[in-house]
Amino acid sequence: MRAKDNNSKGIVLIVIAMTLFAMQDSLIKFIFEKSALYEIFFGRYFVAAVLLFIYIKFKKQNVNLKTYYPVLTFVRVILHFLAFSAFFISLTYMPLATANALFFSCPFFVSIFAKFFLKEYIGIRRWSAIAFGFLGVFIVLNPNFSQFEYKSLLPVGCAFFYAASMTITKYTSDKDDVNTQLFYFYSIAIALCGLIYIYMGNGQFNNANYDSTTQFIFREWFINPTYAWPIIILMGFIGALAFFCVFNAYSIASPSVVSLYEYSLIIWSIMIGYILFDSVPTLRTFIGVSVIIGAGIYIYLREKVKDQMIVTDTPNR
């Protein structure tokens, strides 16, 4: 059966995935005051790696341990680390909907990177859409330059680094298959977590005078294992299931169709933020979100018209 015949199933899978990502983000807001940032990273990566190993064994697939791009593979993991460090930190002080809305500037960065690093052609219409999308980011941020808090840019920084990592993934996928990329991704990521634990895992850089966000970064690991680790493990399962749904959605359906439904993450974030955290986005945020979504959808549609899938083939989460 061709991919276009499975669009309905792909849409269901992508909506499920976005719901799971919104749940995962909300769990971080619950847990960040009783755990450490990279402790969460380690738990999520470890659970995902175990599940990947079980899946590969169950499917009787092979993993080619030879990577043709060792340096780029390492850089990709570092970029992913930087991306979601920024995003998880932003969730400690920013509403879910706002953080995810700003993260959806990712397609604009992907298009820019594709132009300069993948040598893809970007026409004036898509450049205009990118500029319009960044106008939406500006509206959401609502900067008061005399008292602007630069930490509000962290989700945008996440989008920038994530877009760079996805550009590398697209570049290296010509020789390294998915299993090879995932194997090295989780191996390097878990090793990096181990190094971070050795360097600051006992909380030597933490200070009681720091605010809760800074303590989240430097807090000692494993200080609340009975409370934190069931949630961290749950986050690992949720994240792995979400990515499984994303990859299956993109493999069985037309990417130009399912990619549009990734924006349902913002809707789920608004709903969960309101129900769990009594957070309601401002009118200005709604306007900015609408501009970002509109620009993103236009870029997707232009790629389909031009039969030049750059952003569309790259999941946002």
Q: Write the pLDDT tens digit of every residue in 5-39.
A: 588 898 999 999 999 999 999 999 999 999 999 99
Confidence (pLDDT) at 310? 57
Confidence (pLDDT) at 248? 84
d(CA 158, CA 266): 16
DSSP 177: -
Q: pLDDT per residue over 46-89, tens digit each? A: 999 999 899 889 988 888 889 999 999 999 999 999 999 999 99
Confidence (pLDDT) at 307? 60
Number of domains in the chain: 1
d(CA 71, CA 69): 6
Confidence (pLDDT) at 119? 81
299, 106 in Cβ contact below 8 A?
no
In a domain, 15, yes or no: yes
What number is the average pLDDT over the span 268-297? 92
CB count in 10 Å sphere of residue 297: 15
DSSP 253: S
| Domain interval for residue 86 | 3-306
In a domain, 313, yes or no: no
Nearest CA to 179 among 49, 316, 72? 49
In a domain, 311, yes or no: no
Confidence (pLDDT) at 221? 97
Q: pLDDT per residue over 122-132, tens digit each? A: 889 989 999 99
245, 19 in Cβ contact below 8 A?
no
In a domain, 27, yes or no: yes
In a domain, 181, yes or no: yes
* C-alpha triplet 109, 113, 116: angle, nearest 5°: 145
Over pLDDT 70: what percentage of the chain?
A: 93
Confidence (pLDDT) at 302? 76
In a domain, 312, yes or no: no
Sign of CA dihedral 154, 155, 156, 160: positive
302 alpha-carbon distance from chain centroid:
23
In a domain, 314, yes or no: no
Show Cβ contacts of residue 74 under 8 Å, excluding neighbours closer than 6 positions.
188
Q: pLDDT per residue over 91-132, tens digit each? A: 999 999 999 999 999 989 988 988 888 788 888 998 999 999
Please provide the distance, in angstroms rounded to a whole number, between the alpha carbons at the two ends of the chain: 26
d(CA 143, CA 161): 22
In a domain, 315, yes or no: no
